[in-house]
Chains A and B, each alone.
Chain A
Amino acid sequence: MSQPLLEVEDLHVRFHTPTRVVEAVRGVSFTLGRERLGIVGESGSGKTMTGRSVLRLVRPPGEVTARRMAFDGIDLLSLSERRMREIRGSRISMVMQDPKFSLNPVMRIGPQLTEAMRVHGGGSRKEMRARALAMLEAVQIRDPERVMRAYPHELSGGMGQRVMIAMMLVPDPDLLIADEPTSALDVTVQLEVLKILDDLVASRGMGLIFVSHDLELVATFCDRVLVMYAGRIVEEIAADRLSEAKHPYTQGLIDCLPKIGEDRAVLPTLRREASWREEPVA
């Protein structure tokens, strides 16, 4: 790996409200190669904002600052909005949490897929249709013809999420940011969707940022995990060594989950220390 795909250094996201400034992300730094990186944390830890700021999708009154934020050597901070749009979607894509709210409810799936293609290059109508069908097959939709004609409400959650993934993969991006891509799905469907993502990442050599609250899932799916608390990375750890986590927050998150085959009358709960907000990365 000569040059990292993504470099983020000292990222801050602040929200200016009439009464005070809320710091959602406070000094996050990481680099990403062509690998699967998990970002884990509880609600409000800043994990989603970290993912969104890479795509410059944080809206005012939110303010993003960083010492450096570069994608494939391109400085994302100084890029014009027009150049940013060329990268957004075509080289960096994002899969959102809930297909119910992220697909256009009054547009059939087919036109939604080809619209993405038209924006990024295009081709003839026939070519685009063939590519859309191929994408739906790539995410293992068995009857792509029917799905092309369907409206989002006619699809199950799992199907909808596959369509979303297909749509994000149309322009063949180098980096995919998936924000809780499977949290709205049933457990068994969740694994099927992850399998598809995993195969695509492996076969296309993409980088993947997987944002999730589910520590155990991330540990089994990703190569490396960043654990966030109160807008900071409190621990970075190889996913297969999660059980050796050193930070009390990470340990607490693992311990408080009920496990099959264990008989604990009382689950340990997290005792949050004020110092976790300020201590440097362990």
Chain B
Amino acid sequence: MKLAVEDLNVTFGSGQDRVDAVKDVSFGVEANTSFGLVGESGSGKSTVLRAICGLAPVASGRIAIDGRPVAGFRDPAFVKQVQMVFQDPYGSLHPRHSVDRTLSEPLAIHRMDDRHARVERALIDDVGLDASFRYRYPHQLSGGQRQRVAIARALILEPEILLLDEPTSALDASVQAEVLNLLMRLRREHELTFVMVSHDLAVINHMCERLMVMQHGETVEELNRAALADHAVGQDYTRSLLKASEGFQR
């Protein structure tokens, strides 16, 4: 198991203001596969990703990568292994850093050599932008191009696990298709493991072999792609999500 999450609980605040954002969530992800987390806003799906990175207050539970538990402060070795791509490509890139600086900074922090060539490789070979993008700033890029830069930034440290938080929901449908294709190709080429969060069941179905439906911080059910295709779901909530994904019905 590449990534294992067991009985994860995340709580914010205390006393009257206590919010249980994630309640007893467990799942495992095999190497070189994609695992999807689906749910509506407030279901705790993004909080699970943040907890894996150490960005959310874990109340109890275990998180393990390659069988080794991770807890507390995440060291540089963890950061090199696990990277995240955020939803909003407008908010997740530093507006006053050029693409080159955004991509070089992680390399400098981790004292990696050959920076120039690595940036070029990430930009051109990995995400399919050309060299002219290298010295541009985020405001000079379209939404799809920004998301490609955000993916290049995540890949530059050569991670094994990529956490994707709604990577295409801010994009137009045709651009979404391009980014999803890009992610699938990168997963194959770099032997990556994905955990992907989305509210869009069809996107998760396209990308992920297995998925988990969440509601109010709890697991509703875990499914594989075939079960979803056959509508062989066990819970009413999943059924209502499936129905909603087919559009409006009179």
Contact = CB atoms under 8 A, between A and B. Distances in A.
Interface in A238-282: 252-253, 256-270
Contacts of A187: 40, 199, 241, 244-245
Interface string A216-232: 11011100000000000
B248 A42 contact: no
B199 A186 contact: yes
6 contacts: A187-B40, A187-B245, A252-B174, A260-B229, A261-B205, A267-B181
Given A220-B246, A256-B176, A258-B205, 7 more contacts: A187-B199, A198-B250, A220-B248, A253-B174, A258-B180, A259-B205, A260-B205
Interface residues of A, number: 36
B247 A188 contact: no
Interface of B: 40-41, 143, 172-174, 176-178, 180-181, 184, 199, 201-203, 205-207, 225, 228-230, 240-242, 244-250
B181 A266 contact: yes
Contacts of A216: 247
B40 A258 contact: no
A229 B96 CA distance: 32
Contacts of A43: 143, 172
A259 B225 CA distance: 12
Q: Which 9 A-B residue pairs are closest in the complex by CB-CB distance?
A: A220-B247, A258-B206, A256-B177, A261-B229, A186-B40, A267-B177, A187-B244, A270-B174, A220-B248
A215 interface: yes
Given A217-B248, A260-B229, A261-B229, A266 B172 contact: no
Q: Name the residue among A157, A191, A217, A268 with the largest chain B CB count within 10 angstroms.
A: A191
B230 to A, nearest CB: 8
A186 B174 contact: no
B172 A217 contact: no
A190 interface: yes
A22 to B, nearest CB: 16
A213 interface: yes
A260 B41 CA distance: 21
A266 B185 CA distance: 9
Contacts of A269: 174, 177-178, 181
A256 B174 contact: yes
A14 B228 CA distance: 47
A194 interface: yes
A199 to B, nearest CB: 10
Contacts of B228: 260-261
Contacts of B184: 265-266
A64 B241 CA distance: 42
Given A258-B206, A259-B202, A261-B229, A194 B174 contact: no
A38 B31 CA distance: 44
Contacts of B203: 258
A183 to B, nearest CB: 10
A221 B40 contact: no
A270 B172 CA distance: 11
Contact of A188 (B143, B181, B241): B241
A266 B188 CA distance: 12
Nearest to A42: B172
A217 B247 contact: yes
A268 B177 contact: yes
A267 B206 contact: yes
Nearest to B246: A220
